[in-house]
Amino acid sequence: MPFDLHEPVAALMRQVAREIVMPRFRNLTADEIAEKAANDFVTIADKESELRLSEGLSAILPEAGIIGEEACAADPAILERAGDGLNWIIDPIDGTGNFAAGNPPFGIMVALADAGTTLAGWILDPLTGRLCHALRGGGSHIDGQTVRAKESGGDLPIAALAVYFMTDEERADIQRRADGAFVLVDIPRCAAEQYPRLVLGQNDVSVFARTLPWDHAAGTLFVNEAGGCCQRLDGTPYVVGDVRRGLLGASSPRLWDQAARQLFG
């Protein structure tokens, strides 16, 4: 089934980027930006993008439910059924903080999951047009070309650690463990950019504390299908609907094992 969905989903995402997201980039008024929680922003473009994506995806596959970030913000009960049955998972603008500030990167992310297992995922960069796509059992692709994850090849692995949702104690511990074992780089504050970096050889390791499905369903599948490794900290797969915290991604299984021992062993 997902094999037949790639082209219509990709076309819908590109249309939403072109008609809704990009016209609002660096063109938002103050009353079009709101703060849902501390450092967690939403804009009129997020809401309009989710509405259009929800309508379009429902037309493509009517039997699938919709789990959208902004719908869940308005009604948290929606998230409780994310792991039940067939669902579209929508992040209408990932990296909203960047988008609202007029800065890259940001992206649009869509996944299709069945009973918690991600079947397919799409990650679009509206600025460059780069489209990452993965299909369970069918590999990972960027702009139609099959890709395999590669390590950066440096003396030390390059790590981008998303620690801002950790407690002070967790943050101090992981930074202590990482010191001297990795080259630490800034995170892009955008999962739609962080996951491709693990495949493209730009970053070797990423840690995520908060693991909401719209941020991670598409990206974990993309990394894993490319030959990288993205799993829970205990080595179990990422499952939509699992409310546990903590996710570790790496550009290879070898580096995943190394990072897991160093950072969480």
Q: Binding site for Mg(2+), residues?
A: 69, 91, 93-94, 215
In the chain, what is the straight-line distance between the N-terminal and C-terminal CA atoms, in Å?
Answer: 40
| Alpha helices for the chain (secondary structure H) | 6-16, 22-24, 44-60, 69-74, 96-100, 168-178, 191-200, 213-225, 253-264
CB 221 within 8 A of CB 97: no
199 φ/ψ angles, rounded to the nearest 5 degrees: -90, -35
> Which residue positions form the known binding site?
69, 91, 93-94, 215
Burial 100-132 (b: 16+ CB within 10 A, else e): beeebbbbbbbbbbbebbbbbbbbbbbeeeebb
* Strands, sheet with 183-184, edge to edge from the N-terminal-most edge strand: 183-184, 158-162, 205-208, 247-250, 229-231
Q: Is 209 exposed, middle or buried (0-12, 13-18, 19+ CB in 10 A)?
A: middle
Strands 205-208 and 158-162: parallel
Instruction: State the Cα angle at 243 between 33 and 173, rounded to 5°.
Output: 85
Choose among 126, 256, 147: nearest CA to 200: 147
